[in-house]
Amino acid sequence: MSIPNILMVRIDNRLIHGQVGITWTNSLGANLVIVANDEAANNPVQQSLMDMVVSDGVQTRYFTLQKTIDVIHQAAERQKIFIVCKTPQDVLTLVRGGVPIRVVNVGNMHFSEGKRQVHKTVSVDENDTKAFRALEKFGISCEVRRVPDEAGENIANLLN
């Protein structure tokens, strides 16, 4: 069983959009974007919309969280993988399921009822905060960065 070449995991409640599909994939040199999201995995319309904003030559897969856990270790060495999730809880599910994640990029977590804004593009509630703290305990660095050339800010500093 080989260790999959996961370049980065991004939390973005919009999943794939232009910034993710083009800017991030290019700067990472990814050739495979895995959207690990139960809803998107079962929504072909959403998938085809997301496929339209991914760079040419980059493959996409839409997996449930469980399927991601089940198949990630079968990835080929040539696959340079960029995983996109919707929430920190989803990332934590992957980590607990044995997906070898080292770096989490926190992109967009929209404000909604019961959340507090901790950064321009990031709002969290109690559950989000717990999930980030749990990821930290796993030794995973979680930083807020909207675009690759922006300096990252550790989420732990923003949560206090």
Q: What is the pLDDT of residues 24-56, one digit of tens each?
A: 999 999 999 999 999 999 999 999 999 999 988
**Contact status, residue 118 vs residue 154, Cβ threshold 8 Å:** no
Q: How many CB atoms lie within 10 A of CB 72?
A: 22
Report the CATH fold assignment for 4-156: Fructose Permease (3.40.35)
Give the model confidence (pLDDT) of 89-115 as tens digits.
999 999 999 999 999 999 999 999 999
Contact 95, 101 (CB under 8 A): yes
Beta strands 81-85; 32-36: pairing state:
parallel
Estimate the crossing angle of helix 88-96 against helix 126-137, to 10 degrees. 40
Q: Is it the case that residue 1 has pLDDT exceeding 80?
A: no
Question: Catalytic pick from 17, 73, 110, 119?
Answer: 17
pLDDT over 90 (residue 87): yes
Task: Supply the DSSP symbol for 11.
Answer: E
pTM higher than 0.75, yes or no?
Answer: yes
Q: Which residue's entry shows tokens 């083009």? A: 22
| Residue that the structure tokens 């040539």 belong to | 78
Looking only at the bridges linking them, the beta strands covering 141-144 and 153-154 are: antiparallel
Distance between CA atoms of 24 and 30, rounded to whole angstroms? 8
Using pLDDT thresholds of 50, 70 and 90, give the confidence band for residue 128: very high
Residue ranges covered by each domain of the chain: 4-156
Tokens of 1: 């069983």
Instruction: Identify whether 110 is a catalytic site residue.
Output: no
CB atoms near residue 127 (< 10 Å): 13
DSSP secondary structure letters along 104-137: EEEEEB---TT-EEEETTEEE-HHHHHHHHHHHH
Mean pLDDT of 66-92: 97
Residue 134, judged by CB atoms within 10 A of its CB (0-12, 13-18, 19+), counts as middle
